[in-house]
């Protein structure tokens, strides 16, 4: 009975749709969660969802690259990156990110609903739905919205760690968009992952070496006259 479900593409598509919703929910959590440890878990879960989506898509399409992407994502984003960031967290002893710029969590959720709509309207202008199947179109929409929500995280949260997670979320969005629309070559995906690793390393240096918020970082730069933002 179970095997008959798995062989049925309609059933798999339904599952992918459900996963889409969960992906957006994780993004919503990244926007509003205050506890850094749970923020990290949310990111890991989000990446795991990416892995699952890639695997299910492979079952429908049979494209081998998808499996490779799934494996790479599992190793890098579900395991390694969260581990790194966890290490940073331990070093700098920040457990919470409480303050928000411009948008409170409730407002940013409303904004992200608007973003999803915008993504839908924007993409439906480009892709005629006749060319693409509904599922792939949805994938593109969700990918784009995820990228935008990641951007929202970057500017609405204060701490560097959270900002880094916002960036990682954006990357997940690009990945999603890629596997559903652009047929992202595998090599680019690898390059992006390497980029991410470097980003996380840089964040580590920044966060541990200097301080925990970008503003304080700027202040330090100013007092050291490395970067004269105030123009004196």
Dihedral of the CA atoms 130, 133, 134, 136 (nearest 10)? Answer: -130
- Upper half-sphere CA count for residue 173 (Cβ side, 13 Å): 24
Q: Which of 170, 111, 109 minimizes the C-alpha distance to 143?
A: 170
- Whichever of 141 and 196 has its CB closer to other proteins, that residue is 141
By CB under 8 A, name the one of 48, 105, 127, 210 that touches other proteins.
105
CB atoms near residue 166 (< 10 Å): 23
In the complex, least distance from residue 23 CB atom to other proteins, rounded to whole angstroms: 10
d(CA 205, CA 88): 9
41 binds other proteins (CB under 8 A): no
- Please report, as residue ranges, which positions from 133 to 152 form the binding site for other proteins (by CB under 8 A): 134-135, 138, 141
- Please report, as residue ranges, which positions from 204 to 223 form the binding site for other proteins (by CB under 8 A): none
Cβ proximity of 179 and 53 under 8 Å: yes
- Whichever of 120 and 217 has its CB closer to other proteins, that residue is 120
Number of chain positions touching other proteins (CB under 8 A): 28
Q: Which of 40, 25, 48, 28 minimizes the C-alpha distance to 172?
A: 48
d(CA 182, CA 174): 10
- Whichever of 25 and 59 has its CB closer to other proteins, that residue is 25
Question: Largest Cα–Cα distance in the chain?
Answer: 74
Cβ proximity of 176 and 23 under 8 Å: yes
Cβ proximity of 79 and 125 under 8 Å: no
In the complex, least distance from residue 20 CB atom to other proteins, rounded to whole angstroms: 7
The answer for residues whose C-beta is within 8 angstroms of residue 29's C-beta and 6 or more apart is: 38, 39, 42
Binding mask of the shown chain, residues 56 to 95, with x at each position contacting other proteins by CB under 8 A: ----------------------------------------
- Please report, as residue ranges, which positions from 6 to 25 form the binding site for other proteins (by CB under 8 A): 11, 14-15, 17-18, 20-21, 24-25
In the complex, least distance from residue 63 CB atom to other proteins, rounded to whole angstroms: 22
In the complex, least distance from residue 50 CB atom to other proteins, rounded to whole angstroms: 17
Binding mask of the shown chain, residues 106 to 135, with x at each position contacting other proteins by CB under 8 A: xx-xx-xx--xx--xx------------xx
d(CA 203, CA 228): 22
Positions touching other proteins (CB under 8 A) are: 5, 11, 14-15, 17-18, 20-21, 24-25, 28-29, 32, 105-107, 109-110, 112-113, 116-117, 120-121, 134-135, 138, 141
């Amino acid at each position: 009975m179970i095997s008959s479900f798995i062989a049925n593409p309609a059933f798999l598509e339904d599952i992918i749709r459900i996963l889409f919703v969960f992906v957006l929910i994780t993004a919503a959590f990244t926007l509003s969660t205050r506890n850094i440890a749970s923020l990290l878990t949310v990111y890991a879960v989000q990446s795991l969802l990416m892995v699952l989506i890639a695997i299910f898509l492979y079952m429908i399409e049979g494209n081998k690259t998808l499996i490779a992407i799934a494996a790479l994502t599992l190793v890098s984003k579900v395991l390694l990156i969260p581990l790194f960031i966890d290490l940073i967290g331990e070093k700098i002893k920040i457990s919470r990110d409480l303050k928000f710029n411009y948008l409170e969590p409730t407002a940013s959720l409303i904004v992200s609903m608007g973003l999803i709509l915008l993504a839908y309207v924007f993409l439906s202008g480009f892709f005629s739905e006749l060319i693409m199947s509904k599922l792939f179109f949805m994938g593109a929409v969700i990918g784009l919205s995820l990228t935008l929500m990641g951007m929202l995280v970057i500017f609405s949260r204060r701490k560097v760690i959270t900002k880094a997670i916002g960036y990682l979320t954006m990357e997940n969005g690009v990945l999603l968009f890629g596997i559903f629309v652009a047929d992202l070559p595998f090599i680019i995906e690898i390059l992006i992952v390497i980029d991410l690793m470097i980003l996380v390393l840089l964040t580590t240096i920044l966060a541990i070496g200097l301080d925990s918020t970008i503003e304080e970082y700027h202040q330090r730069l100013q007092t050291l006259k490395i970067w004269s933002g105030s123009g004196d």
